[in-house]
Amino acid sequence: MIPSREKPFTYEKLMFQLRTLILLFRLDIFLLCTKPFSSSQFPPTPTYKTHQPLHKPPILSKHPFNNSLFTQMALSTTNTLLPTKSFIQSPPPPFKSSPATTVSTTTTTTRFIHPISAVHSSDSSKTPTPKPSSPATSATASTTTPKLTTATKPATKWSVDSWRTKKALQLPEYPDQSELDSVLQTLDSFPPIVFAGEARHLEERLAEAAMGNAFLLQGGDCAESFKEFNANNIRDTFRVILQMGVVLMFGGQMPVIKVGRMAGQFAKPRSDSFEEKNGVKLPSYRGDNVNGDAFDLKSRTPDPQRLIRAYCQSAATLNLLRAFATGGYAAMQRVTQWNLDFTEHSEAGDRYQELASRVDEALGFMSAIGLTTDHPIMTTTDFWTSHECLHLPYEQSLTRLDSTSSLYYDCSAHFLWAGERTRQLDGAHVEFLRGIANPLGIKVSDKMDPNELVKLIDILNPQNKPGRITIITRMGAENMRVKLPHLIRAVRRAGQIVTWVSDPMHGNTIKAPSGLKTRPFDSIRAEVRAFFDVHEQEGSHPGGVHLEMTGQNVTECIGGSRTVTFDDLGSRYHTHCDPRLNASQSLELAFIIAERLRKRRMGVKQSLSP
């Protein structure tokens, strides 16, 4: 009998065969999934730096192949197909792959394929430029899968000075560029005015406002000035904002996010680069950080040294605001002491005193039952600063790389916005803003096209992070009712999350018989009501209000309970730019908004009741 040469059947042999079958099966799935697709259908793979962006919610690719379950299985399988050499000798590739999209069976070249849209604008690696494909492959790709929408994606890598490659509007022309460069280098060495963590906290709060769970109160000077810089003016504006916050919080029964147009709101856009009087033509006044408002050549010539002074004033203003916010001045126990002397006997002042007495009674009740009112939540308040992102060289010099998140923040303010004149999709201001991680605002007038707004939001917030984008509408009451619904619907269709805010000031500026600019309080009130009406009609959230106001007893806007008339304008008209609400008018408007918030809250409660 000839002994058999076949080895006896063993458990190890069975397991080896099973493992081989499983690997072959998984490889077949991989080849099957990749066969129908051509190389032109794969978006190029971004090259990431060692740090990951702070804003990284799970974004699905617009490409159907990248989101498929089989793709994830196939890509993960390549790491397990043998750690060294494959036992399958070089199978023919199912498609011709480009270097950017190669998927190999060895671990040395295996990479996940990321869609372009997964790169956030505030990631320092920024958006890669896709390689052009041949006409043949492009035609094939267009017949098998939807085309990736990349028209609104910036094609260049972002850096703090990449805005210089774009067209920059509203920037002053300095006579001595070397002096400007020297000043900017000095500013670059200065410490930041705000910190990245504070801006992140504000973004989280604004996300609550986007969902209807908080309300933004943003207010302050049209343009800060060097001449009016003193502690009393800062304190008075701050406490009017505190008063308005209490009124809104009481009416809406929700947190109020207090943001000042303070500590940096200097630069102003101009319709014309030059101003002419009596045959004399001089550069337009662009804010105290650029030039002076006196109509003479020396004052109107842009001076770089003013940027240093603006930085110092901003830092000092914020230092005082921090002291007021955390040092006991903002304690709720002082709610009855916040009224300014000239508002005490006004209608709004009387209503505030009545409200303050009710708050004081509530605090007394809390103390009686043993709940301490000394907790920081009762003795301090959060307060943030904001200004228009206009003077790009200054903003660049104060932009810092945050060590905790490896993201860039513009540390001149917590919140910055793009103005109506500087929000071009391919403009320098949008280019700068897309790369910083601060929460951002977009000023929108009745001229804004809904599709353009969607594209702009996509550039500034490609990962659709709640709280990053605030849309500040400035249209006038009638235009608000006609134009705003289309913007809301377009943003909703795109699935974009934004905070909607009303600026009832800029769309209601008129010229008085005396030639002074003014704003009727009735028009401001009408636009606020239109804003709430439209959001109620569309089922969206009115997220806040943006006001040009002051704590001073000025007469710049006509109307209100104290009935400021055209004849009164000249008595206390102190603004350097546009007319502002005084303290009494601001408080009166806060009560109007609080009533709308209360009605909205009661309507929600009724709709939820069984």
For 42, 63, 139, 333, 488, the CA distances from 148, given in Å and listed in that order, are 10, 7, 14, 57, 24
Distance CA 239, CA 245 (A): 9
Distance CA 273, CA 281 (A): 10
Q: Is 374 annotated as a binding residue?
A: no
Q: Is 538 annotated as a binding residue?
A: no
Distance CA 184, CA 372 (A): 49
- DSSP-derived secondary structure for 80-122: TS-SSS-SS--PPPSS---GGG---SSTTS------GGGS-TT
Alpha helices in 211-304 (DSSP H): 231-252, 297-300
Is the CB of residue 45 less than 8 Å from the CB of residue 127? no
The residue behind tokens 């002076």 is 292
3-state SS class at 401? strand
Kindly state the DSSP code that residue 544 receives in the 8-state scheme: E
Q: Is 548 annotated as a binding residue?
A: yes
Distance CA 569, CA 557 (A): 8
- Written as one letter, the residue type at 576 is H
Strands 399-401 and 408-410: antiparallel
Task: Quickly count helices (H) and strands (E) in the chain.
Answer: 16, 14
Q: Is 596 annotated as a binding residue?
A: no
Is the CB of residue 446 less than 8 Å from the CB of residue 475? yes
Q: Is 474 annotated as a binding residue?
A: yes
Is the CB of residue 216 less than 8 Å from the CB of residue 502? no
The residue behind tokens 């969607």 is 454
Q: Is 344 annotated as a binding residue?
A: no
Q: What's the angle, vertex CA 206, arms to CA 318 and CA 461, rounded to 5?
A: 105
Here the tokens at position 220 are 């302050």
The residue behind tokens 């009501």 is 529
The residue behind tokens 């806040």 is 544
Q: Is 434 annotated as a binding residue?
A: no
3-state SS class at 219? strand
Q: Is 261 annotated as a binding residue?
A: yes
Q: Is 411 annotated as a binding residue?
A: no
Distance CA 395, CA 430 (A): 13
Nearest to 498 by CA among 536, 542, 537: 542
Annotated binding residues = 222, 261, 420-421, 443, 474, 506, 548, 578
Annotated binding residues for Mn(2+) = 222, 506, 548, 578
Annotated binding residues for phosphoenolpyruvate = 261, 420-421, 443, 474
